[in-house]
Structure 1
């Protein structure tokens, strides 16, 4: 009887360890996440498969309760509730598609992987093992995605030890020759440490300080300067005149996060500003569910939530370059990055406002995931975060 409980317990503990280590925020540890499909496949019952899935997902997203508590300035309970609710889609999909039939198991797992990569389930499709492709097959592009997908299918078959050894060989080789993505020429990403005040402090002095930071970066051979998500707060005609005037004497272009407000809600956007004027460059495809994207508000006749543009503007033009923007939450899920790569951009631009993640690994995970996508497709990377 004790033996009957020992194996499932060890599997669940192992799945938690895989989630913690694979999603620790260190890019070279992402392939550890490929241990999850192995543990899922060797589960002897659907209940064990569900518990293994829950252990992996909850461990990988462990920073959520503390982050939500900080975001809402509340106790830990709302964060715990959201954490558990967010895990339901992952657990349900993997529990429903689990099977004892070894012949069809690879197809079932691949179906689960696809479902968790695209909306609607992909909206909370964090910790997706396919992200490890950027480490295993750096520079291989879509071939790397295909090989990683094939590897995931192989890991849920009876020959998984051989597949695991082969993937480990690619992992070790990649780690031995690893280099971080390059920064595009004439571009600079500015990290800020302004905490919760970024985007909420609307005083003129804050904007002047930000302008001084931009001009300082632009004076060091950077023509394009990127500021984090929410750096400009609410975007208004007054703000546009201030910034356009400040850039009137040079050739610098600023890409900065802002909120574009109207009667129905707001868009989380990136704004491009130069001496000639400003325009909205990018509208976030997937804002943070729950805290920003709240579709139920419109169902109840209320306004005030962020809009999700889902599959809009995967690539935008800045000067002579085409870039793939990823704002904050979009860096944690799969489809925004892969959709953008379908259009073969020149580089990736990743911004975020992670003040609420202090004490967690969320920002490190965002950076690691974005770095992995950039390495997979051999794209330069510009990053700008506020903490």
Structure 2
């Protein structure tokens, strides 16, 4: 059997293991993903590099096929097609930039891969980015921690890759021993709901009063700011704003909640804030879920109804005297939205999501783990609210 086939047969299962463990939804296991560059760099051929990349990415995103099946109410084969399509840019990039040359050339090319998979346009589907583990390996280091891990990942693709791998393993053991605690924003409370697909679709007065009761309960336990999940309020209208304003009259609580604002050619997925003084749109989502929400081809086909991508707009917003880094759902899976927000030195990170379609999957767990890692890296308090 040719040597290349034997090496590939070893590397591919290892890539699958690394992707599976690193993206299991446990923050402490994120550093497993950092070993992927070593496997890619040791691939004997371009085809082997593509297969290794596919093994890693497909394992990391293994919750996608069943999620697509539930979201669109379609057969499993449609979900499998989405799964493969989502991996295509990741695999193609790693295949295209692979080189038979060793040493610094591979390291330089992996630096380019890190940048291209972290930033738009390829970064739009840049899930499972190894840099997410920086907060677990270098908690509190901020940008220096991110640079340190980037240097380590680049080093893994060079001749000294095995030595770097040993060093990262030591850091991983140290982080596991010391633990990484979630930093909570004092006086802020994220409310997790279990309302399934009905959240945001049930626009009845009864549902709104139910949500208001959750807010009042949290306020009664001392919360000054209460956060509700993505889509919680449904369509944001003057009538809805007036209802919430009246219901909160006499209390000091401020609510942040997910909603949708109807536009001429589609809608904006937003966070709104409301208290007894009134309500307003706080944040416009920068990166909605591709295909299911954001459909860029609509502008050329004349179709309407998709969500607008605000890309680099409003990386931070201000509320209650604090500068907030807001992230809605899909933005928590890719790299650039959180890094863009961190450039503005926020006082807190507020994450909301609606993961009813991920039942029996690990996507919500991955979002939570990633958020915990970024919070730990920059030492910024974190508030999370999800619906499942």
Give the TM interval when normalised to the shorter protein: over 0.9
Separation in 2 of the partners of 1:359 and 1:186?
Answer: 32
| 1:96 matches 2:96 | yes
Alignment deviations for residues 217-253 of structure 1 (CA, whole Å, 9 cap, x no partner): 0111111000000000111111111101001111110
Separation in 1 of the partners of 2:93 and 2:114?
Answer: 9
Separation in 2 of the partners of 1:201 and 1:258?
Answer: 12
Separation in 2 of the partners of 1:179 and 1:375?
Answer: 7
What is the CA RMSD across the aligned residues, in angstroms? 0.9
Residue 116 of structure 1: SS of its match in structure 2?
Answer: helix
- Decide which moves more: 13-22 or 169-178: 169-178
Contact 2:327 2:350 in 1 (8 A): yes
Please list every run of 5 or more consecutive structure 2 residues that lacks an aligned counterpart in the other structure.
none
Separation in 1 of the partners of 2:370 and 2:220?
Answer: 31
| 1:147 matches 2:177 | no
Separation in 2 of the partners of 1:294 and 1:242?
Answer: 33
Please list every run of 5 or more consecutive structure 1 residues that lacks an aligned counterpart in the other structure.
none
Alignment deviations for residues 341-380 of structure 1 (CA, whole Å, 9 cap, x no partner): 0000001101100000001100000000111000000111
Contact 1:27 1:372 in 2 (8 A): yes
Residue 217 of structure 1: SS of its match in structure 2?
Answer: helix
| 1:291 matches 2:280 | no
Q: What pairs with 1:197-276 in structure 2 (closer than 5 Å)?
A: 197-276=198-277
- The match for 2:340 is 339
| 1:278 matches 2:298 | no
Residue 170 of structure 2: SS of its match in structure 1?
Answer: helix
Contact 2:4 2:45 in 1 (8 A): no
- The match for 2:113 is 112
Residue 305 of structure 1: SS of its match in structure 2?
Answer: coil
TM-score (normalizing by structure 1): 0.99
- Decide which moves more: 124-133 or 100-109: 100-109
- The match for 2:26 is 26
How many Å apart are 1:125 and its aligned residue? 0.1
How many Å apart are 1:179 and its aligned residue? 3.4
Separation in 1 of the partners of 2:300 and 2:228?
Answer: 34
Contact 2:7 2:43 in 1 (8 A): no
Separation in 2 of the partners of 1:6 and 1:45?
Answer: 12
TM-score (normalizing by structure 2): 0.98
- The match for 1:41 is 41
- The match for 1:196 is 197
Contact 2:200 2:233 in 1 (8 A): yes
How many Å apart are 1:6 and its aligned residue? 2.3
How many Å apart are 1:299 and its aligned residue? 1.3
Contact 2:226 2:254 in 1 (8 A): yes
Contact 2:37 2:157 in 1 (8 A): yes
Contact 1:181 1:379 in 2 (8 A): no
- Decide which moves more: 344-353 or 171-180: 171-180
Alignment deviations for residues 17-61 of structure 1 (CA, whole Å, 9 cap, x no partner): 111111000001101001210110001100000110011001100
Residue 118 of structure 2: SS of its match in structure 1?
Answer: coil
Contact 1:53 1:90 in 2 (8 A): yes
How many Å apart are 1:5 and its aligned residue? 2.3
How many Å apart are 1:3 and its aligned residue? 4.9
Residue 382 of structure 1: SS of its match in structure 2?
Answer: strand
- The match for 1:306 is 307
Q: What pairs with 1:320-335 in structure 2 (closer than 5 Å)?
A: 320-335=321-336
Alignment deviations for residues 287-340 of structure 1 (CA, whole Å, 9 cap, x no partner): 000100001112111110000001000010011111101110000000001000
Residue 18 of structure 2: SS of its match in structure 1?
Answer: helix
Residue 232 of structure 1: SS of its match in structure 2?
Answer: coil
| 1:56 matches 2:56 | yes
- The match for 1:126 is 127
How many Å apart are 1:4 and its aligned residue? 4.4
Separation in 2 of the partners of 1:160 and 1:4?
Answer: 19
How many corresponding residue pairs? 387
